């Protein structure tokens, strides 16, 4: 079975966090859909709140420290990305933006991304299209058609569950397509030289 790496970035500030809860539900939906495509997901969750000081250091020094480097590598090296932020003042949080600010240019180019957000009210629903999509378009990532905003009144609503399932399926379709298109190992069927020598010696 093919495998695919899925990175999940959550910019929630509290513990527990509704942003992390939405991120986990989106990851579960995507993982389930990937298995339906015959792809085994490897999921890594990044809690940005744990790296707030690391990100501030990066902004000042221009280099990621030892704690932040593997986090950036995991996101850049993933086959698909789920990015979820709380909405403040009708846009993504400063912590969320800072993480994507420190990535190298074109680090996310062509990468499938599912966008999610949490907010106190559904009035912030346009933030997905007016703030998050332009950001990831600038980063040249490929955002799936369905973005998911979970307002305070949405939890437990079937409509939210339907949007999560649809968005996860869209991301899984793109990730599975990339996995299927990955070039095969040209040396997978090569007979070791030692084996050839033994065969010729008999």
pLDDT value, residue 108: 98
CA distances from 24 to 8, 30, 82 (A): 8, 10, 10
Can you give the pLDDT at residue 71?
97
With 0-12 / 13-18 / 19 or more C-beta atoms within 10 angstroms meaning exposed / middle / buried, residue 142 is: middle
Q: Which segments within the chain are labelled E, that is strand?
A: 2-10, 39-47, 80-88, 91-92, 112-119, 142-143, 148-151
Low-confidence ranges of the chain (pLDDT < 70): 180-202
SS3 133: helix
Q: What share of the chain is helix, strand, coil (3-state, %, to 5)?
A: 50, 20, 30
* Beta-bridge mates of residue 149: 117
143: left (phi over 0), alpha (psi -120 to 50) or beta: beta
pLDDT the model gives residue 1: 78
State residue 123's pLDDT score: 80
Q: Which two tokens stand for residue 103?
A: 């990535």
């Amino acid at each position: 079975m093919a495998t695919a790496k899925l990175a999940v970035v959550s910019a929630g500030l509290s513990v527990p966090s509704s942003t992390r809860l939405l991120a986990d539900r989106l990851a579960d939906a995507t993982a389930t859909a990937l298995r339906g495509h015959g792809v085994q997901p490897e999921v890594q969750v990044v809690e940005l709140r744990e790296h707030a000081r690391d990100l501030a250091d990066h902004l000042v020094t221009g280099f990621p420290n030892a704690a932040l480097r593997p986090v950036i590598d995991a996101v850049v090296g993933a086959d698909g990305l789920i990015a979820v932020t709380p909405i403040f003042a009708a846009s993504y949080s400063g912590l969320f933006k800072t993480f994507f600010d420190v990535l190298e240019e074109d680090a996310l180019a062509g990468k499938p991304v599912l966008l999610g957000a949490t907010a106190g009210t559904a009035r912030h629903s346009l933030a997905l299209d007016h703030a998050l999509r332009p950001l990831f378009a600038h980063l040249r990532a490929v955002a799936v058609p369905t973005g998911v905003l979970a307002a305070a009144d949405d939890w437990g609503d079937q409509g939210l569950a339907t949007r999560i399932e649809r968005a996860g399926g869209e991301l899984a379709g793109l990730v599975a397509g990339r996995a299927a298109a990955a070039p095969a190992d040209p040396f997978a069927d090569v007979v070791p030289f030692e084996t050839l020598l033994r065969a010729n010696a008999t």
